[in-house]
Amino acid sequence: MHPVNDIRGVRSSLLSGKRIVLAITGSIGAVECVKLSRELVRHGADVHAVMSPKACDIIHPYAMGFATGNPVITELTGGVEHVSLCGNVQGRADLVLLAPCTANTLGKMVHAVDDTPVTTFLTTAIGTGIPVLLVPAMHSTMYEHPTVRENLSKAVAMGVEVVDPSIEENKAKMAPVPMIVERVLRKLGRGRLRGDRVLIVTGATREPIDDMRFITNRASGATGIHLAIECYREGADVLMLAGENVEKVPQHIRTLRFSTTTDLQRKLSSPGERWGVPTVAFFCAGISDYAPQVEEGKIPSGKEELLIRMLPTPKLIDAYRRENPDCLMVGWKAESLDDEPEIARRAFRKLKNASLDMIVANALSGVTQDATTCLVIMRDSTAFRFSGPKMELAGFIIEKLLDSKKNGGKKVPWS
């Protein structure tokens, strides 16, 4: 058994049973293809590398053979490899990932010029209707050339999807490996949220006391990040409103930052130019219930006692529901008590008052940075218990949102 099987599916099984052709061309970005292949395998994929002669000058086929666990195709033989993997045959590839893609290969692809194994695979795949995901990598002057831009447009018109490069240091660099992997997961995923606009509000607000100090809370934003990733993989158009404290926001998730409750209120009213009206909204942020009366300048230190007057802030989730009556909305309710029936009663009361479709309720004692224990309560009062990593909670919530009756549920007696 090839050692690649030791890592297959260790991150997820999302690509299990999926066959991916990784087409590699002569860009220095090819050095990332070992890592790229291994990450795809960690999600369960069966990866087959096809290399142009110039790609072989940059990274040795032995490296790709190790990374994928499959024979590397560097020339076409009597085995008609392009047909066996990309033709109208049983067991053909589910996706051709062209990474990195040079300007040279791009031009050949859109004009069906077959002079390397890579270009022949591309012509065959496009002719067969196999999805192609293209990851450009070249100098920025080449990327901005009018004909190269025209060729990209032609590729898109053929149904090819493009993972935009990172423009830096006068180069159009191949997108980071995690971003490429996420696009593959999205492309080959179930797409159950395709066509939906999903708004996720996460993290903590910061209410100023003076020009130096502020009051905040412990909401880390981790659950929101995991929800954003899962919704993106399901095909949704995702916008995340994240507090300034939220760290490690994924590059592929469109994100707007907020600071105060007032700032968040303004961004909720206009979440992004041309983004449109969300069909699903998750409110998992720690939004302050009270805000201090702000002192001008910095309050001098050394006082024996400092009294801060706090005033209530607007209930943003209630206002959002009034403005978006057709949006599917999920709220959160955290309590300091450990009485589960009472937590459920309070959460369901909030669900009804705010006219939510689902609410996630938990005791603060059951929450850590990466894990949580909670109740997921539906409009019909059905509740599901969850305990585990926040990453798994995100998938659990989406499953219940998509089908609240799937796999049954256990009623919680709050009355």
DSSP 313: P
Delimiting residues of CATH 3.40.50.10300 domain(s) in the chain: 197-411
Report which secondary-structure segment, H or E, holds 172: strand 171-173
| Whole-number pLDDT of residue 272 | 58
d(CA 379, CA 401): 11
- The DSSP code for 222 is H
Tell me what pLDDT residue 188 has.
97
Q: What superfamily does domain 197-411 belong to in CATH?
A: CoaB-like (3.40.50.10300)
- The pLDDT value recorded for residue 271 is 66
pLDDT value at position 59? 97
Which among 399, 220, 215, 363 has a CA at the least distance from the CA of 299?
A: 215
- Separation CA 60–CA 15 (nearest Å): 26
- Where do you find CATH 3.40.50.1950 in the chain? 3-188
- The label of the residue with tokens 């996706």 reads 95
What are 389's strand-pairing partners?
371
- 3-188: CATH topology is Rossmann fold (3.40.50)
Burial bucket for residue 324 (CB in 10 Å: 0-12, 13-18, 19+) = middle
pLDDT in tens, the chain (415 residues): 899 999 999 999 999 999 999 999 999 999 999 999 999 999 999 999 999 999 999 999 999 999 999 999 999 999 999 999 999 999 999 999 999 999 999 999 999 999 999 999 999 999 999 999 999 999 999 999 999 999 999 999 999 999 999 999 999 999 999 999 999 999 999 999 999 999 999 999 999 998 899 999 989 999 999 999 999 999 999 999 999 999 999 999 999 999 999 999 999 987 655 677 899 999 999 999 999 988 788 888 887 788 888 999 999 999 999 999 989 999 999 888 888 889 999 999 999 999 999 999 988 887 777 788 899 999 888 899 999 998 899 999 999 988 753 444 444 444 3
Instruction: Find out whether 276 and 236 touch, Cβ atoms under 8 Å.
Output: no
What pLDDT, on the 0 to 100 scale, is given for residue 366?
75
Print burial letters for 19-43: b (CB count within 10 Å at least 16), e (below 16).
Answer: bbbbbbbbbebbebbbebbbbbbbb
Tell me which residue has tokens 């961004």: 267
Closest listed residue to residue 51, CA positions, set 22, 84, 18, 81 = 22
Tokens of 44: 């369960």
Residue 19 parent element (H or E): strand 19-24
Q: Report if pTM > 0.95.
A: no
